[in-house]
A = this chain, B = another copy of it.
Amino acid sequence: MKIGILGLGLIGGSLGYDLRSQGHHVLGVSRRESTCERAMALGSVDVASVDMNLLAAAEVVFICTPIALIVPQLQQLIYHLPATTVVTDVGSVKAPIVKDIVPLWKNFIGGHPMAGTSDSGIEAAQHNLFVGRPYVLTPDETTPQTAMAVVEEIVRSLGANLYYCQPEQHDQAVSWISHLPVMVSASLIAACMGESDPAVLQLAQNLASSGFRDTSRVGGGNSELGLMMAQYNRQSLLSALQGYRHNLDEFINLIEQEDWVNLKSKLKSTGQARPKFVE
Contact = CB atoms under 8 A, between A and B. Distances in A.
Nearest to A248: B187
A134 to B, nearest CB: 5
Given A177-B212, A208-B278, A252 B241 contact: yes
B237 A190 contact: no
A124 interface: no
B273 A189 contact: yes
Contact of A181 (B178, B188, B267): B188
Interface string A193-219: 111010110011111110111111111
Contacts of A242: 252
Nearest to A186: B270
How many copies make up the complex? 2
Interface stretch (A30-38, A99-107, A144-152, A256-264): A256-264
Given A206-B134, A277-B192, A187 B219 contact: no
B218 A215 contact: yes
Contact of A264 (B219, B227, B234, B249): B227
A257 to B, nearest CB: 11
A213 B114 CA distance: 14
Contacts of A181: 188, 211-212, 215-216
Given A193-B270, A231-B258, 10 more contacts: A169-B199, A169-B200, A172-B195, A180-B188, A186-B267, A187-B251, A191-B246, A212-B278, A214-B217, A245-B249
Interface of A: 114, 133-134, 136, 161, 163, 165, 169-170, 172-174, 176-178, 180-195, 197, 199-200, 203-209, 211-224, 226-227, 230-231, 234, 237-238, 240-252, 254-256, 258, 260, 263-264, 266-271, 273-278
15 contacts: A114-B207, A114-B209, A134-B209, A136-B203, A176-B200, A177-B208, A189-B270, A190-B247, A191-B244, A192-B273, A216-B278, A230-B254, A234-B258, A238-B255, A242-B252
In the A-B complex, the 3 residue pairs with the smallest Cβ-Cβ separation, listed nearest first, are A220-B274, A223-B267, A173-B203
